[in-house]
């Protein structure tokens, strides 16, 4: 898959975005861990992490495989990898390394027991081609597991109108970037198109109410808007004034508390197969 075949990564790779990803990981890692464990990621495995970004998934995998395992993370962004390498060094992780490039096109000296990725396929113009490419790095019988989103399932009850409006803006933006806001539901067909067979699937969502929704609303909704405010305005979806980012999190949290709203997060969907090449 060439650089031209990848969709625009709408969030960018600023210091602010790297911090947002780290905060998001604190909320999402337990779900990803359950997907990876169900897929069979475990002690001593050599794992390729696709679209590593700031390294959060690689660090989660490092905990699963232990010191006897090895993780190589790959990303196209040099800036993101600089952050990932610094964080790995700070954690003293000697079995985690990062490479710049397209994991579907790279070559490696040894095959992997597993290939993983989180929130990666949604940004590919041809996700089946990427899956096919990265699966070629796996030993026969190894694991291919990806965690993606279905953003259409997010909502609130009783209604939290500010949250719901922000999420409508988000759903309107993603198609402009070439990203697929429902990639999670498309995982099954994508694995089949890639020639990997029918995957096993799991679905989870974060669901929180009232004051307990504060962290989710701040990290997964308000800070998301901070990363895409310029794009929202460029595509005439919402103005900076309408978003009003400096007060957005506080307004959503106050509304959720006042309305006793339950906030239902987007669907987090995991899919995996044991790789058996034809």
Which CATH number characterizes residue 130's domain? 3.40.50.150
Section 94-115 average pLDDT: 96
pLDDT digit string (tens) for 63-104?
A: 999 999 999 999 999 998 999 999 999 999 999 999 999 999
pLDDT digit string (tens) for 154-177?
A: 999 999 999 999 999 999 998 888
**Into how many domains does the chain fold?**
1
Task: Quickly state the pLDDT bin for 5 (edges 50, 70, 90).
Answer: very low
Q: What does the pLDDT read at residue 138?
A: 97
Task: Quickly state the pLDDT bin for 17 (edges 50, 70, 90).
Answer: low
Of residues 237, 219, 217, the one with CA closest to residue 227: 219
Task: Quickly state the pLDDT bin for 2 (edges 50, 70, 90).
Answer: very low
Residue ranges making up the domain that contains 32 = 3-274
């Amino acid at each position: 898959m060439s650089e031209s075949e990848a969709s625009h990564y709408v969030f960018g790779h600023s210091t602010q975005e790297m911090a947002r990803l780290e905060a998001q990981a604190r909320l999402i890692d337990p779900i990803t861990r359950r997907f990876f464990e169900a897929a069979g990621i475990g002690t001593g495995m050599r794992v390729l992490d696709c679209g590593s970004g700031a390294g959060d998934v690689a660090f989660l995998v490092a905990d699963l495989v232990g010191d006897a395992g090895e993780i190589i993370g790959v990303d196209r962004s040099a800036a993101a990898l600089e952050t990932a390498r610094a964080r790995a060094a700070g954690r003293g992780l000697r079995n985690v390394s990062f490479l710049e490039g397209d994991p579907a096109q790279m070559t490696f000296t040894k095959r992997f027991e597993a290939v993983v990725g989180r929130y990666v396929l949604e940004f590919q113009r041809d996700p089946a081609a990427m899956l096919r490419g990265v699966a070629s790095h796996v030993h026969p019988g190894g694991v291919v597991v990806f965690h993606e989103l279905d953003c259409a399932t997010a909502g609130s009850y009783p209604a939290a109108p500010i949250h719901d409006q922000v999420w409508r803006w988000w759903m309107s933006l993603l198609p402009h970037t070439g990203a697929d806001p429902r990639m999670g539901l498309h995982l099954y067909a994508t694995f089949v198109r890639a020639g990997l067979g029918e995957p096993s699937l799991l679905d989870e969502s974060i669901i929180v109410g009232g004051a307990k929704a504060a962290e989710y609303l701040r990290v997964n909704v308000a800070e998301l808007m901070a990363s895409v405010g310029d794009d929202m305005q460029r595509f005439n979806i919402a103005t900076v004034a309408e978003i009003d980012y400096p007060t957005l999190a506080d307004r959503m949290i106050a509304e959720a508390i006042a309305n006793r709203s339950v906030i239902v997060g987007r669907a987090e969907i995991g899919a995996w197969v044991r790789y058996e090449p034809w």
